[in-house]
Structure 1
Amino acid sequence: MAEKFLQAERYEAHRPHVRAVAYRMLGSLTEADDALQEAWLRASTTDIAEVRNIGGWLTTIVSRVCLNLLRARQARREDDIDGVPQTQGAATVVDPAAEAEMADEVGVALLVVMETLGPAERLTFVLHDLFAVSFDDIAVMLEKTPAAARQLASRARRRVRGTPPPTGHVRQSRKREVVDAFLAATRAGDFEALVALLHPDVVLTADPAVIPSPEPVVILGAHTVAKGAMAAIERAAATGVALLDGECGLLMAQGRGLRLILRFAVQEESGLITEVEVLAERETLAGVEVTAL
């Protein structure tokens, strides 16, 4: 019994690290906690007396559990010919605020882009680029050669980071400052700071999926647009800055999927936002190329 208690105590000491690994692989705190529970069940049946690196050993177990979950998720998507999202089974209940906080910490754009990666690419990228696990160790998990693991990481890296726009670097940098300030103001609930970023004649348009209506909604004027923007980003903690088709904007994720995006037009002379476009229609979002910053 004492040995079991000691083993559980050593597991708990490494739990924050392996939970971070699982979350970055799965993009869901619910699934991450389920993966940890399964990993613990596996670990609890093993004599750890001879294990020198408990953290590395637990990371390997959790990674293999996550890889199986990612492969199962991919198989469900392939079987889902009607495009109806699959409901998850019974799982740990996670506070939505905790989920949003973790997503913001990791980077909403990064999580959205990583959903486009295959299971092996995602595991390799997370373990090597985010947690500095060697390609030799990753190769053993994937039953591949270290060279193949290195190639998977390189391919994932290109897809996650994308290629920055070749021109307009200064303009993009200035636009990001404005978009960052816009997000900061909405998060803080600072209405006056938000109004100060908007041109007096700013125009906000929102498609019918954002505000249910027969036609796109058009809002005019800085004060009115600021109120509309506050409403559009009601869960600002789950919103992040990203490149949307090469232009700096905001995206909001819900669960593992993209919920809506905000595009901006910024006047070069004044640095004020002249247009805000809020899009949520699934077909539109599917055609947007997202690159994490």
Structure 2
Amino acid sequence: MPEHSRPNDDHAERFTALRPLLFTIVYEILGSATDADDVLQDSYLRWAEVDLAAVRDTKSYLARLVTRQALNALRAGARRREDYIGPWLPEPLLVDDHDLSADVVLAESVSMAMLVVLETLTPNERAVFVLREVFGFSHHDVAGAVGQSVGTVRQIAHRAREHVQARRKRFEPADAATAVRITEQFMTAATTGHLEGLLALLAPDATWTADSGGKTTATRRPVVGAERVAALLVNLFRRGQETPDLRVAIVNCNNTPALVASRGEHVEGVFLIEIVDQKITDFYVIRNPDKLLAVMAPRQISRV
């Protein structure tokens, strides 16, 4: 092998080995798998120029690199978020159950409920929380990633942790078996138009939040309350049954049962169901076609 080709091979080998971790970091900071792919591509080009002899810890170095690029992307997209029509939801992520089954922290960190909470943090708070609380990087490494002093990072981490804890539900999310059972019961009630059956599955303050970006039909404001959400669902499923070639499949997105509605090869929408304390508490509905382009491509995620 020619001598000059070895550095590039070594760069690629190190980056590829850590790619699931790096993708997960960036996805949790941005809430977008598509944008995370772009950040990783740009980060690899920068990494390929690095003198590996100067890299003491590849994992910490690459985590800092992708975090900086993710923060740049997050800040660049701030105006786009301000002008967004209707609620903004993170991009759904199709995941392998195996990636999540052995890591409770990872499973919760990529949940739609957690990502929605992370949306309420500032960019620096979000990056610090993700790197410190989810991935366990040292305050020193986090400081290098966000360009702040260690003391400032400690303060940001404390503030972000309190903010997240205040907004997370107090009850534990449902285990996998319970989630499957309740989702199947929900599908039976929804497809048969059984209003009482739906109401029995919904929490009293169940919420329906739909993200269309103004590009397709969806409710522009969250719908709150079991009765209102159940009526919406009965109407929606009735119209779905009258739509030719519409198929609905159950998958795992963001460690949450999700319904994928599609016609042919075109995904019409993804409906994520959050179940807490044996009841459905939230429906997160992604209808914006820009956020559905890569939803059926499963991603490998990791905290190590």
Decide: shared fold, TM above 0.5. Answer: yes
Q: Is the CA contact (8 Å cut-off) linking 2:174 and 2:275 kept in structure 1? A: no
Q: Is the CA contact (8 Å cut-off) linking 1:25 and 1:123 kept in structure 2? A: yes
Displacement of 1:64: 0.6
Question: Would you say 1:235 and 2:260 are equivalent positions?
Answer: yes
Q: Tell me the alpha carbon deviations over residues 20-79 of structure 1, each in whole angstroms, 9 at most, x when there is no partner.
A: 11111111111111111111010101111232211111111001101111111224445x
CA distance in structure 2 between the aligned counterparts of 1:217 and 1:145, rounded to whole angstroms:
47
| CA pair 227-177 structure 1, distance change in 2 beyond 3 A | farther
Q: Secondary structure at the match of 1:234?
A: strand
CA distance in structure 2 between the aligned counterparts of 1:101 and 1:132, rounded to whole angstroms:
22
CA distance in structure 2 between the aligned counterparts of 1:8 and 1:186, rounded to whole angstroms:
41
Q: Secondary structure at the match of 1:133?
A: coil
- The structure whose Rg is larger is 1
CA distance in structure 1 between the aligned counterparts of 2:260 and 2:218, rounded to whole angstroms:
17
Question: Would you say 1:31 and 2:26 are equivalent positions?
Answer: no
- Where does 1:210-229 land on structure 2 (aligned, <5 Å)? 219=231
- Where does 1:66-81 land on structure 2 (aligned, <5 Å)? 66-77=70-81, 80=83
Q: Is the CA contact (8 Å cut-off) linking 1:112 and 1:253 kept in structure 2? A: no
CA distance in structure 2 between the aligned counterparts of 1:30 and 1:225, rounded to whole angstroms:
32
Aligned to 1:262: none
Structure 1 counterpart of 2:142, from 131, 138, 141: 138
Q: Secondary structure at the match of 1:250?
A: strand
Structure 1 residue runs of 5 or longer lacking an equivalent are 86-95, 211-215, 260-293
Q: Tell me the alpha carbon deviations over residues 142-191 of structure 1, each in whole angstroms, 9 at most, x when there is no partner.
A: 332222212212222222222678xxx8xx68xx769x947644368863
Q: Is the CA contact (8 Å cut-off) linking 2:273 and 2:280 kept in structure 1? A: no
Aligned to 1:265: none
| CA pair 5-217 structure 1, distance change in 2 beyond 3 A | closer
Question: Would you say 1:50 and 2:54 are equivalent positions?
Answer: yes
Aligned to 1:191: 188
CA distance in structure 2 between the aligned counterparts of 1:35 and 1:201, rounded to whole angstroms:
41
CA distance in structure 2 between the aligned counterparts of 1:139 and 1:255, rounded to whole angstroms:
37
| CA pair 11-143 structure 1, distance change in 2 beyond 3 A | closer
- Where does 1:251-270 land on structure 2 (aligned, <5 Å)? 251-254=283-286
Q: Which amino acid aligns with 1:235?
A: V
Structure 2 counterpart of 1:99, from 73, 89, 93: 93
Aligned to 1:60: 64
Q: Is the CA contact (8 Å cut-off) linking 1:117 and 1:156 kept in structure 2? A: yes
Question: Would you say 1:21 and 2:25 are equivalent positions?
Answer: yes
Q: Which amino acid aligns with 1:150?
A: R
CA distance in structure 2 between the aligned counterparts of 1:189 and 1:218, rounded to whole angstroms:
10
Displacement of 1:198: 8.0
Q: Secondary structure at the match of 1:162?
A: helix
Structure 1 counterpart of 2:282, from 227, 230, 250: 250
Displacement of 1:136: 1.8
| CA pair 23-219 structure 1, distance change in 2 beyond 3 A | closer
Q: Which amino acid aligns with 2:188?
A: F
Aligned to 2:133: 129
Greater RCO (CA < 8 Å, at least 6 residues apart): 2
Aligned residues: 224
| CA pair 16-192 structure 1, distance change in 2 beyond 3 A | same
Q: Is the CA contact (8 Å cut-off) linking 1:107 and 1:240 kept in structure 2? A: no
Q: Which amino acid aligns with 1:250?
A: D
Structure 1 counterpart of 2:159, from 143, 155, 162: 155
Q: Secondary structure at the match of 2:259?
A: coil
Q: Which amino acid aligns with 1:20?
A: T
More off after superposition, 38-47 vs 146-155: 146-155
Q: TM-score, normalised by structure 2?
A: 0.57
Cα RMSD (Å): 4.8
Q: Tell me the alpha carbon deviations over residues 245-285 of structure 1, each in whole angstroms, 9 at most, x when there is no partner.
A: xx9712315289xx9xxxxxxxxxxxxxxxxxxxxxxxxxx
Q: Is the CA contact (8 Å cut-off) linking 1:185 and 1:191 kept in structure 2? A: no
Q: TM-score, normalised by structure 1?
A: 0.59
CA distance in structure 2 between the aligned counterparts of 1:138 and 1:61, rounded to whole angstroms:
11
Structure 2 residue runs of 5 or longer lacking an equivalent are 101-106, 210-216, 220-227, 242-247, 249-257, 262-269, 292-304
% same residue: 30
Displacement of 1:17: 1.2
